[in-house]
Amino acid sequence: MAKLSLVFCYFIVLVLFLTNNKCQATESCEAVGVYKLKRGDLSLKFTNYGATMLSAVIPDKNGKLADIVLGFDSVKDYKTDNTYFGAIVGRVANRISRAQFTLNGTRYQLINNDGDNMLHGGPRGFSEVIWKVKSHEVNSHITFTYNSLEGEQGFPGDLAVSVTYMFVGENNLVVKMKANPLEKATPVNLALHTYWNLGGHSSGDIFSHRLQLFGSHVTPVDDRLIPTGKITPVTGTPYDFLQPREIGSKFKELPDGYDINYVLDNPNPEHLKKVAVVSESVSGRKMELWTNKPGVQFYTSNMLGKVMGKDGFVYSNYAGFCLETQGFPDSVNNPNFPSQVVNPGETYNHVMVYRFTAD
C-alpha cells in the first residue's frame, strides 16, 4: 500500500510539473480577467482573452457618456463568438488565399477557417488565446504579451508578441503592436478588430456617420474576398471617401456594404499618417485615426446577422464600422504588395492613434 501511494504521489507531481511547464510555454493557463483604463472622461475596458477591447465610454457634446464599442456583457461570450469583436487578430490578419504560402523555398500549409482560405490567423489565432498581462496602470496603460510557438496554425518559427494600449494626453488612445521572430522568418500582420458606433453601441446603424478616408486606391477582391493583385483608384466609385460623406450615401451602388483594403496615400513606416476622420452628428462625437501602416480595412459589419450584444441589444448588419490598419491582405502571395515578412533580429512595429472629441 505504501509503495502504491508513493507511485501515485510521483504521478501527481509529474502531471503538475508537465502542466506547469505547458503553462509557461504557451501562457494558456493565464487567468482571464477584465482590466480598466481611465483618464478624464475617457474610460476603457480590456480582457486578456484575445487582448480584446471590451468597451470605450466617452462623452458626447453635452457631456453624456456612452459606450461606443460593440461587444458582449460577459467575457465568456467572446470565446464562442466569430465576429472578432474588439480583438487583436493575427499572426496574419485578413485573408491568406488557400491557406498557404511559400517562404524561402518552403511551402507552408496553414489551417483554413474561411472556406479554403485562412482568415485572421486561423481558427485559433491571436484573438482566441489568453495573453499575459505584463504591466497595468489604470490611468496610464496596459501591456499584453503572447508567445506564439512554431507551427501554431501552420506558421513558421516562434514569435514574441506584445500589444500596449496607452493614454497620451486627455483624448488620445495609442495602440502599439510589436512582434519579434526568434529563429525563423515569418509573415506578421496584426490588426485591431474593434467595431465602432459613435452614437453609442446600441444606437442602430452607422449609415449617417460621416467618413473621410485618406486612401485614393483600393485592392479589389474576387468572389472569395481575396485581392486580385491589382491596385485601382477610387475616383468615380462608391469607395471614394476622399471628401467627407455619409457612409450610407452610396449603398445603392454597393448593396453588400464595404469590406475592402484601402491603400493609404504616402505611407511611411517611420512616421504616422492620418487614416480617417469619422463623425456622428447627433452626439457630436468625432474620431480621428492615425497609423504607420500602408493599408486600412474598412468594414461596415455586413455579415453580423443578428448578434445578442451588450445590455440585451441585438446587433444587426451595419451596426458598427471597423477601420483596421494593416498590411495588404494576402501579401504573402502577392509579390507586388508590401512584404509582411519579418526576419530574426527585426521588429514588427504597428502603431495606431485614436483621437476622440465632441462638439
Catalytic residue list: 193, 324
Residue with grid cell 513606416, as numbered in its chain: 269
Is 195 flagged in the annotation as binding? yes
178 vs 144, 163, 184, 282, 291, CA distance in Å? 11, 6, 16, 37, 14
Residue with grid cell 458626447, as numbered in its chain: 60
DSSP state of 92: B
In the three-class reduction of DSSP (H, G, I as helix; E, B as strand; rest coil), residue 264 is classed as: coil
Is 194 flagged in the annotation as binding? yes
Is 224 flagged in the annotation as binding? no
Is 94 flagged in the annotation as binding? yes
Is 77 flagged in the annotation as binding? no
242 and 262 Cβ atoms separated by less than 8 Å: no
d(C-alpha 317, C-alpha 149), whole Å: 36
Residue 207 makes CB contacts below 8 A (sequence gap 6+) with 246, 247, 248, 251, 318
| Torsions phi, psi for 308 (to 5 deg) | -75, 110
**91 cis-preceded (ω within 30 degrees of 0):** yes
Is 193 flagged in the annotation as binding? yes
In the three-class reduction of DSSP (H, G, I as helix; E, B as strand; rest coil), residue 26 is classed as: helix
d(C-alpha 168, C-alpha 187), whole Å: 30
Residue with grid cell 462638439, as numbered in its chain: 359
d(C-alpha 330, C-alpha 86), whole Å: 22
Q: Extract the annotated binding site for beta-D-galactose.
A: 94-95, 193-195, 259
Q: Extract the annotated binding site.
A: 94-95, 193-195, 259
